[in-house]
Chains A and B, each alone.
Chain A
Amino acid sequence: MSAIKVMVVDDSLFSRTLIVEILRDSGLEVVGEADSYDSLIETYERCRPDVVTMDIVMPDMDGFECSRALFVKDPNAKIILVSSMKDEESEVEARRIGISGYIQKPVDSDYLVQMINNVMAPDIHYDHLLAYGLETFKESLTQNIARMTKSPVSFASYENFGDHYLSQGITAVIGLIGRHSGSMILDMSMETAERIVEMLLKRAHRNREEVLSMVAELANIIAGVACSMLNKSDKTYSLSVSPPSLFYGTGTEIMSPNLKMDAVTAGTNFGNIFLGVGFKKGSSIWM
Chain B
Amino acid sequence: MDVSIINPLLTAFTEVLPQLGFQSVERRKVSKIEAAFQYNGILLNISLFGTVKGAILFGMDIEAAKKFASKMMMGMPVAELDAMARSAISEMGNMVCANTCTQFTKIGITDLDISPPTLMISENGEATLPVPKSIVVNFLIDDIELSAYVSLMNK
Residues on A close to B: CB < 8 A?
61, 64-65, 68-69, 71-72, 75, 89, 92-93, 96-98, 163-164, 171, 173-178, 181-183, 185, 212, 216, 240-249, 251-259, 278, 280
Contacts and interface: CB of A to CB of B under 8 A. Distances in A.
B49 A255 contact: no
Interface of B: 16, 19-20, 43, 45-50, 53-55, 57, 72-73, 83, 86-92, 94-95, 97-99, 101-102, 105-106, 110, 113-131, 151, 153
Given A182-B116, A247-B125, A280-B116, A242 B101 contact: no
A89 B109 CA distance: 12
12 contacts: A69-B20, A75-B91, A97-B94, A164-B121, A175-B48, A177-B50, A177-B113, A182-B115, A183-B116, A245-B130, A249-B125, A251-B123
Contacts of A212: 128
A173 B43 CA distance: 12
B2 to A, nearest CB: 18
Contacts, number: 162
Nearest to B101: A96
B13 to A, nearest CB: 14
A176 B73 CA distance: 29
A61 to B, nearest CB: 7
A245 B47 contact: yes
A175 B101 CA distance: 15
A255 B127 CA distance: 16
Contact of B98 (A89, A96, A182, A257): A96
